[in-house]
Structure 1
């Protein structure tokens, strides 16, 4: 099976397995084609400044209430930094200068309290915070409880274990991604939906790759009463850069743009490559054989003013592509990754995963910039957690690299070197052009 443009058939149906579309054009049916098989140049460096106007670093204030080791989610707005904390399921609000302002919500089972925290949404227009767990609770920016979204029940609304909630242009959206945890009717296997203010489904869209596979996906759902291997997929990639909501479903070759006025999806970019994607079941099992990682995969995309970046992998190589919107050229950077294995006592195949981070060379402040989060349609965020093996940064590399702002680089190095055991993370905030 090949990775080919879907839009040649129609906007929301899947491609025919086994066929290849031979094309080297940069546009098909009025939609730009990102060609990853021809005229690709190797890139020793992909500079952050190509996409970003400036980078700030913020040292988050550490208080008794605001110790945030183990960050779950981050959102940045023009005025605030919002942190969801793993350990205590807390949301903390900081100013853009890093001063701790307040907590949002209370943990518990009483009115206005929550037990689990899955996601949170920031509504700047109404100064409200939506906390999504088993239900949805709404708070003001100071952390006071306002209301409960009546009738929302995660376990009744969804059949998938992995969901995403989005607030864009005063509209709410939900994406759900397999694995399924209960069987559903074939026709209700939706992947993206517009919902109303009470989070009732209004209009649903399917991942085109699921079409024709519904019975297999439903059959291979997670069995909650006993341990068994099941099918799962990456999260739907959603972005709101440039006041546009765009998305890429897992396994598809098309980036779609959402039209708010017409409540519709239309192709924005089509990705073309001759690389093989592999057998669907083999590459989607929770516990995968090693050979399942040898196939080509694009996991995420990152739009900017002049470029679209794609992040993916093949084997143990992490791939980053930089597509030039003006001339259609593509630069490719390869990094050495690692397929990690973890033994699970009750299963004879190790749990294998590969991380595919989106990393650019931080020519503005030195070192590298890893996009951990994106927010408000204009910020990329790199969280540096003290003494973390995964989320810290090589200070020596920062010192050794030349930066466009050497004075600011020096300040960053000093901040990193002064980190102690009680320090909160340092947040790098990149503002897109």
Structure 2
């Protein structure tokens, strides 16, 4: 259940409902409403009756050809990547390959925004590849008394598929559903299955270059998905379901249709997000993407791949493919086209440890030009110990002292300067 990057095209009635729920808009000004793509999921869903051992359940089924475009990518783009590469995308992976044609994509809409005992999943969306189509089945609770039948239907569909693929499902969707299965005295189809939580992978890949790794932000910045006015903010969905029940339930009303639209698009975005992740690792297009790929590999413990990517990034910098070094930013929130300082620091430290002092120095020098204290100290060390140039070492150490604002580090830099001054005097004696 993901929140969109912004609430665009919101009508006055919906704004009032949000206020009643206690939800407030972001402090930052909203951007103008964007035109929704022609390729997002259809709005109108029709429920079909499904018989289960626990009674009737209700499901809406939609099928998309593999060539269907969701944002900038077709659904089959993800199938072009090797099972081994896809497994490398999983944070905390325990498998060596993923067969996406056996996987199950999961997203829920719930009666609350926490996974407490009183929270129900009133809509469970499951997506999977079937032949030359991608199918989304949405299991809907017309009334909470139908929960056991719905869980039975979900279990039947999901029990023989893995891994589970979610967005923030490790923290929310799966624990919530497993608790509902336990309370219903049913075996969970998700127990002991491999889990691919895309939020964790997205954070590993882009946390250094995007201000937010929420699904709405990723859609906006990376996937080319524009949902437009038909979508609905995730925060208001529990209220809309309560209003639907208060009105008598039954066939999904217009609000519930919008919730189902939101849920289907979350699932489609998961599919194209995997392709985007794989592309970012295998086909980095600029310096920032090289840094992102390197950091991903480093966090995954694949140090050889990280080394190759960091060296490629440094090579691109030295070739002038990123010209404006003074555009370096102190945080990761302003741009995804230039690596922020923390990415360069991380790369320099890694390359130094891996025995590439010259490449590390290239990064430290560029950071030093922007007044980075750690970089100034590292360049001072280089001139002292590797070059024997005490005058230049002193120059950088003094610049570090002037740029620093931390008392403890200030004392350490002052001691370094005093030692360098004594060493310089001795060398001239």
Question: What TM-score do you get using the length of structure 2 for normalisation?
Answer: 0.23
Looking at CA atoms only, which structure, 1 or 2, has the larger radius of gyration? Answer: 2
Larger strand share, 1 or 2:
1
